[in-house]
Amino acid sequence: MNCFGFGFNAFGQISDRGKPSQGDDEEHSYTCLTPIRLKHLGGREEVAECQQGRVGTDQLSACWSRTASLCLHDQGRVFLSGFGADENGNHMSASLGCQDALLGERYLTLGFRDRVECWDVQRRDPAPAWSMESPPEEEAGASRRLPLVPGGYIASKPPFYRPLSPQLKAVSLALGAEHAILLSGSGTVFTWGIGSHGQLGHSELTPEKEPRPVEALWGVPIDSVSTGGWHSACVSAGGDLYVWGWNESGQLGLPSLAMRTSQEQKRFKGTASCQEAGPVTRGEEQKEGESQDVFISIQAFPALLDITDSCDVAKVSCGSRHTAAVTTTGDLYTWGWGEYGQLCHGTASSSDEPHCVDFFRQEGFRVVDVVCGPWNTFAMATKEEVAHC
């Protein structure tokens, strides 16, 4: 499996080439505008093992300053890259034998067959900050992925263990900056937490202390869910993509006034000085009888988003203020905030419209999965013939 990363790279979480050196332009060095193949997320590449195909990224998790790569070959182990990572390339010894991993800004959660451990990656203590016994999946009765654990889930900060009602029958859980989204075994979506940006999808901007079903999605079987900083997304069993929450940077793929006004100001500055014409206000030149554009800052209930007319969505992932989706034909589409190149459209610009990442088409890769960090994006791809939409 080939793993590519692009976007924010100030701490070398994508590649050491991104770390600024003396005399470098900081903004440029922090940005990966084109995909970089991740040879090994742990510093130096272990050449012999890579050549034999025994080292590869099977699962990836990213936070703002670090990236964690789970390699299930050779018993399972995790490599950290980015801020404070071990530059000699050694894997995290405490991760040997783990089967799942989830990275937060301070804590790395490791899932083993018989236990779950939370390690403080900032302090590098010799023992985990917290741990609990966990029955094997066959005993637990369901296949789970972190942050879900039997009886509850693991939060990004203490108290780590948070209980969940067994009646929810959770199969998937995603944690945003201030909210959570849960998928039940029946395909029902539940959300709770802060709702000030519409990220809960209940048509209100109020908080919810307990999981509440998203009524607008009742009757729509959902396959997967994802959260960003203040927005949410899910993919239905039929390949439809639903989005809701904050759209300030176009991260929902819906028209954003703030983003388009910023684009107009940038274009205007290229042709005239601000002193001559003053600030740009959208709609000032609207002629009588013309329809005005409808802009959306907050979408408080799920909206169906068509990113392409000819194929379905297979995967979706949300960053802090951007979103990425993989189609059933192996194409990658991105949209939202792109100031660090996390959209991979050749520039560090933003977009409130989904656009295909041409790199993978041109190089003959089929994208099979995507993971968004807060300000960067990682794509898993295989080298094979792709039937594009």
Residue 4 predicted with pLDDT over 70: yes
- Before 20, cis peptide (omega within 30)? no
137 or 225: which leads in pLDDT: 225
Residue 191 within a domain? no
CB 386 within 8 A of CB 361: yes
Measured between alpha carbons, how far is residue 359 from residues 78, 86, 331 in Å? 28, 31, 10
Residue 52 within a domain? yes
Confidence of residue 54 (pLDDT cuts 50, 70, 90): very low
Range with the poorest average pLDDT among 148-152, 247-251, 381-385: 381-385
Average pLDDT of the segment spanning 207-223: 97
Res 73: pLDDT: 77
Q: Which two tokens stand for residue 35?
A: 């995909």
Res 63: pLDDT: 96
CB 12 within 8 A of CB 18: yes
Q: Which two tokens stand for residue 162?
A: 């948070």
Helices (H), 24-179: 26-29, 47-51, 137-140
Residue 310 predicted with pLDDT over 70: yes
Residue 88 predicted with pLDDT over 60: no
Percentage, residues of the chain above pLDDT 90: 69
Q: Which two tokens stand for residue 59?
A: 């699962």
Res 135: pLDDT: 81
pLDDT digits (tens, 9 = 90+) for 110-150: 999 999 999 999 888 899 999 999 887 655 445 689 999 99
Q: Provide φ and ψ at 212, rounded to 5°.
A: -125, 130
CB 99 within 8 A of CB 109: no
Which residues face 324 on adjacent strands?
Answer: 317, 334
Residue 143 within a domain? yes
Residue 152 within a domain? yes
User: How many domains, in total, are found in the chain?
Assistant: 1
pLDDT digits (tens, 9 = 90+) for 329-352: 999 999 999 999 999 999 999 999
Q: Which two tokens stand for residue 261?
A: 């006004």
Q: How far apart are CA 169 and CA 186, in angstroms?
A: 8
Radius of gyration of the chain (CA): 21
Q: Sign (positive/negative) of CA torsion 265, 269, 271, 276?
A: positive
Strand order in the sheet with 313-318: 313-318, 322-327, 332-336, 351-356
Res 284: pLDDT: 37
Residue 186 within a domain? no
Q: How far apart are CA 270 and CA 345, in angstroms?
A: 21
Res 57: pLDDT: 76
Residue 68 within a domain? yes
Confidence of residue 261 (pLDDT cuts 50, 70, 90): confident
Res 289: pLDDT: 46
Range with the poorest average pLDDT among 138-142, 226-230, 362-366: 138-142
280 or 64: which leads in pLDDT: 64
Q: Provide φ and ψ at 20, rounded to 5°.
A: -70, 140
Residue 87 predicted with pLDDT over 70: no
291 or 63: which leads in pLDDT: 63
**Domain ranges, residue 145:** 39-163
- State the DSSP string of 272-295: S-HHHH----TTTTPPTTPPPPP-
Res 43: pLDDT: 38
Which residues face 222 on adjacent strands?
Answer: 236
pLDDT digits (tens, 9 = 90+) for 14-53: 987 544 444 444 555 688 999 999 865 443 444 334 333 4
Q: How far apart are CA 299 and CA 306, in angstroms?
A: 16
Say which amino acid occupies 315.
Answer: K
Query: Taking the model in full, what pTM does it have?
Result: 0.87
Residue 346 within a domain? no
Res 139: pLDDT: 53
Residue 104 within a domain? yes
Q: How far apart are CA 318 and CA 228, in angstroms?
A: 4
Q: Which two tokens stand for residue 93?
A: 């010894």
Question: In 3-state terms, the chain is what percent helix, strand and coil (to 5)?
Answer: 10, 40, 50
Q: How far apart are CA 77 and CA 49, in angstroms?
A: 14
Res 265: pLDDT: 66
326 or 258: which leads in pLDDT: 326
Confidence of residue 254 (pLDDT cuts 50, 70, 90): very high
Residues 6+ apart with CB under 8 A from 125: 119
